[in-house]
C-alpha cells in the first residue's frame, strides 16, 4: 500500500510542477481511487470470511488510449476477464449474479 501512495504522491507532485493536469494525469488520479477502493473491498470480504481475490483492474480494462474519453476494447477485456476472473467453483454466489466475463450469463443458484 505504501508503494501505491508513493506513486500517488509522485503523480500529484508532477501535476503541481506542470501547473496543470492533463487528460492522462486525470485518468491516473481517478484510477487511484478505484484501485484503493478495490483493495478495501477485498480486505473487508476476507475479514468477514468471504472468499475474495484482488485483481488489478489495469490488467483487465483495456482501452484505445484516448485519455479523458477512452473507449473500451470489449474483445480484449472479455478475453482477459475469462483468463483472470474465472469464478472459483467453491466461492459463494448470490442468486442471479451476473458473470460479465461470460457474456452476462447468470450463475447457477447454489444450495
Q: Where are the domains of the chain?
A: 1-50, 55-86
| Per-residue pLDDT, 89 | 52
Query: How much is the average pLDDT of 47-53?
Result: 91
Flag the least confident range among 28-32, 72-76, 83-87: 83-87
| Per-residue pLDDT, 91 | 52
Query: How much is the average pLDDT of 84-93?
Result: 61
Query: Are 61 and 100 within 8 A, CB to CB?
Result: no
Query: How much is the average pLDDT of 48-69?
Result: 87
SS (H, E, C) 11-69: HHHHHHHHCCCCHHHHHHHHHHHHHHHHHHHHHHHHHCCCCCCCCCHHHCCCECCCCCC
| Per-residue pLDDT, 110 | 42
pLDDT greater than 50 at residue 98: no
pLDDT greater than 70 at residue 85: yes
Amino acid at each position: 500500500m505504501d508503494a501505491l501512495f508513493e506513486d500517488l504522491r509522485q503523480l500529484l507532485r508532477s501535476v503541481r510542477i506542470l501547473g496543470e493536469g492533463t487528460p492522462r494525469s486525470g485518468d491516473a488520479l481517478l484510477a487511484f481511487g478505484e484501485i484503493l477502493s478495490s483493495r478495501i473491498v477485498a480486505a473487508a470480504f476476507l475479514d468477514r470470511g468471504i472468499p475474495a481475490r484482488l485483481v488489478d483492474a489495469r490488467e483487465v480494462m483495456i482501452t484505445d488510449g484516448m485519455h479523458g474519453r477512452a473507449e473500451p476494447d470489449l474483445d480484449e477485456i472479455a478475453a482477459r476477464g475469462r483468463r483472470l476472473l474465472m469464478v472459483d467453483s467453491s466461492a459463494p454466489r448470490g442468486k442471479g449474479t451476473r458473470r460479465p466475463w461470460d457474456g452476462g450469463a447468470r450463475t447457477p443458484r447454489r444450495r
